[in-house]
Chains A and B, each alone.
Chain A
Amino acid sequence: MWILPLLIALAIALWLSLKTAQFLNGENLLNLVPQAMPLVITAVGQMFVVLLGGLDLSVGSMISFTTAVLALGGPAWVLIPAVFVLAALVGFTNGFIITRFNVHPIIATLSMQYILLGITRVLRPVSGGTVPDVVIRAVAGSFLGIPMPVFWGIFTLAVAWKLLYGSRFGLHLFAIGGGVSSGVEDAAHNFGIADRRNVVLAYVICACFAALAGIFLAGRIVSGDPNVGLLFELDAITAVAIGGTQLSGGIGSLHGTVIGALVMALLANGMNLTNVSPFIQTTIKGAILLLVVALQSRKKMGL
């Protein structure tokens, strides 16, 4: 499932290096990693809920919210833990509402998207403020000659790898998702898996990864911005879908998701290098999303 997107990524890279001289420029290649990183982190988080057959539309707002919180002013050792506590709370609320009140994930996370966006705009109506120095240095600096964003990537992948392939939770995730996608929602439950608890945990993980992406972005733009995460959830879902994860749940992989995010990042980089109008870029991204989901065949009709 992930070989095709990898070939696509390589094809885009090859095409770009032939088409524009700037692409293989060292500066552009160095820029590519930090450019791709927020999407990689968010998409990896999103993958956890997509594997369950769910969807989290609130990650875009979560990212904006995180940058706004970080720009409130205050010591970093308060703000950074606070961001993760708030993210966990948001994820927990999403998961709780979905599992306990039987609300469809799309409705629950859509309303969360609005609530968070509202709170973000109260905290920070327009972009501004400054984020703690530690955050800026953790993104812009380098360690042992290697740029810091690389370490963010390694950290993200290590945590996600452990959660997905090295824990009982990951195994249960595939089991629950497999049941959902084949139309037997309580299959995993019947085998003794605590499905509700695991679903809630998946939403918490998704929100926490979004917060991590938000911290990274805050370090890059050095301020809080209520609109920085706008439509980010769609890019993340597109990346997950390109990477071969089935939106109906149960099938997917971490490396596929990362490749999917890289495809999206290369595409964005290429469109900027070739001076594609930013307005039509939205259309192109939308069309890609449409194409990717249309190619996924599903057994059942539905949301």
Chain B
Amino acid sequence: MHNEHSDTHFQLRIDNGEHIEAKDYMPENYRKHLIRQMSQHAHSEVIGMQPEGNWITRAPSLRAKQILLAKIQDEGGHGLYLYSAVETLGVSRSELIEQLQSGKAKYSSIFNYPALNWADIGAIGWLVDGAAIVNQVSLQRTSYGPYSRGMVRICKEESFHQRQGYEIMAKMMAGTKDQQAMAQDAMNRWWWPSLMMFGPHDTNSPHSSDAVKWKIKRETNDELRQKFIDKTIPQAELIGLVVPDKNIKLNDNTGHYTISKINWDEFNRVISGHGPCNKQRINHHIKYHNEGEWVREAAIAFKKKHTKKELETV
């Protein structure tokens, strides 16, 4: 009789392209890897609300205000879908929040950069969400069922995010000299960090091989990074933005662009806590979480008092 509670059987299912669901047998490392990856993804969405949130009150038109608010709301929603998916593995959201706030859990390094002018909102939508989309489209086929379903939902919503950002950049590049300068300035600051979003080169990535074997990750960091570079450089050139890299070359045979070496010192510095906004992002999260404690306690107390009588619908 085939032992269905074995790593061998599990790997067979993975190789067959089957999805793993919450109550299925899974190796402990698979489960740990998923919790870490999904929760970091969730934390990134929530922290990501902050740099963009910095410009909501200064959005320069009613249309821009609504679009930006809707986008950030989506990010919060994505965080929610992902926290939901992690919770299927038996970790509570409270625990996850504690891990984020204590620094035990990481989030995408890109959100440790500041949003300094309105064009940053364009750059974040176009480059950061653009990079996220490349990663997320790939993750739709991830082996863990709840994660895969969450990603399908997220991908449906994500494409307007990138268009919103690119539209802002295009408008500014077609605008006044000041607007063009702002847009180029944002480009200069967000290009390299966006490339770093895909993580270290494949040769330097410690968790990569398991992730690929277990089909958690369907493509490697470098493969995804190349996809992003190839689609984004033409978009920049179309609206007159200069990519801040003197060594960009298009290989006509492969159709791929080559770029300068990435400054991994900066990446390591930021990811280890020394980016411009690391402390600010976490402090913000802790502050509002603590300020909200009395509200959450009130809701729980109210429910306890009224367990028998549910609120009537209007």
Partners in one complex: no
Interface residues of A (CB under 8 A from B): none
Interface residues of B (CB under 8 A from A): none
